[in-house]
């Protein structure tokens, strides 16, 4: 099977000596018409891959900021079918930037796993990160995702054992998402030294690229993480900015660019 768009992007970055900047926003937050312009702005700011949140009513791994983002999206009428429509709209003008859908299993089960994977691939989705789906899962979602060329990205945490890490590494394609903090998104402060040591240890057990999320708020954070990992995943600080401008949605795309551009520059300078 040929390599995916995510794999190609990560390999190209590695060859050029650069690190990935991977922003996360919630589809439909605060309204569906904002998401595609925001995605294009994110790419203009230097994003290599976009993680697009599929809003869910019980996002238990997310902190208050991202939970409120999901609530705004749902209240604005965003559905799983709507998320796929957003991707299709984005693809009309950008067929290069990889898109990872991040979320929870329940909405996918409600739509039907096979139907979802077919629709996701048709819309232009490249990967799935399903928070509550363990790597041991070999059901119809996993099989259908593989059939349709969708990368399956899994999470590892500071508490993940070496044995478990190896299993996650074998199941993961595209990149491994290392959750740098114990707890929910947006919690506590990033410990760069600890992240560096942990990433170095993880490389002994996994061969896929390792990207770090949770706690990256500033350009300095992104640069420090990228000096050791293969990429920085930036979410809560962006969703917080969307929240601050929820009543001025036309300002959101440029506001996200203003956060990400210094991160891109810092990563390229120091990563």
Please identify every residue annotated as catalytic.
51, 62
Burial of 110 (0-12, 13-18, 19+ CB in 10 A): exposed
**Full 3-state SS string of 11-62:** HHHHHHCCCEEEEEEECCCCCHHHHHHHHHHHHHCCCCCEEEECCCCCCCCC
Q: What are phi and psi of 189, to 5 degrees?
A: -105, 145
3 state DSSP class of 117 = helix
Instruction: Give 3-state DSSP helix, strand, coil % of the chain, rounded to 5.
Output: 50, 15, 35
Q: E strand or H helix at 256, and its extent?
A: helix 252-270
Are the CB atoms for 27 and 78 separated by under 8 Å? yes
């Amino acid at each position: 099977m040929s390599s995916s768009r995510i794999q190609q992007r990560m390999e190209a970055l590695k060859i050029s000596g650069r690190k990935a900047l991977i922003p996360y926003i919630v589809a439909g937050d605060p309204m569906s018409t904002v998401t595609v312009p925001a995605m294009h702005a994110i790419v203009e700011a230097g994003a290599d891959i976009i993680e697009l949140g599929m809003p869910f009513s019980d996002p238990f791994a997310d902190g208050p900021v991202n939970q409120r983002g999901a609530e705004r999206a749902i209240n604005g009428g965003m559905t799983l079918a709507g998320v796929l429509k957003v991707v299709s709209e984005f693809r009309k003008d950008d067929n290069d930037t990889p898109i990872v859908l991040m979320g929870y299993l329940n909405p996918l089960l409600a739509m039907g796993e096979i139907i979802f994977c077919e629709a996701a691939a048709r819309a232009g989705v490249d990967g799935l990160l399903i928070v509550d789906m363990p790597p041991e899962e070999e059901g119809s979602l996993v099989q259908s995702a593989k059939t349709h060329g969708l990368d399956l990205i899994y999470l590892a945490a500071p508490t993940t054992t070496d044995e478990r890490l190896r299993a996650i590494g074998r199941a993961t394609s595209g990149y491994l998402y290392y959750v740098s903090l114990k707890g929910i998104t947006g919690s506590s402060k990033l410990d760069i030294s600890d992240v560096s040591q942990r990433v170095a240890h993880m490389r002994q057990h996994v061969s896929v690229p390792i990207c770090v999320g949770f706690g990256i708020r500033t350009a300095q954070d992104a640069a420090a993480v990228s000096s050791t990992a293969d990429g920085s995943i930036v979410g809560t600080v962006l969703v917080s900015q969307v929240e601050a401008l929820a009543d001025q949605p036309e300002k959101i795309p440029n506001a996200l660019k203003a956060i990400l551009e210094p991160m891109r520059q810092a990563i390229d300078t120091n990563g």
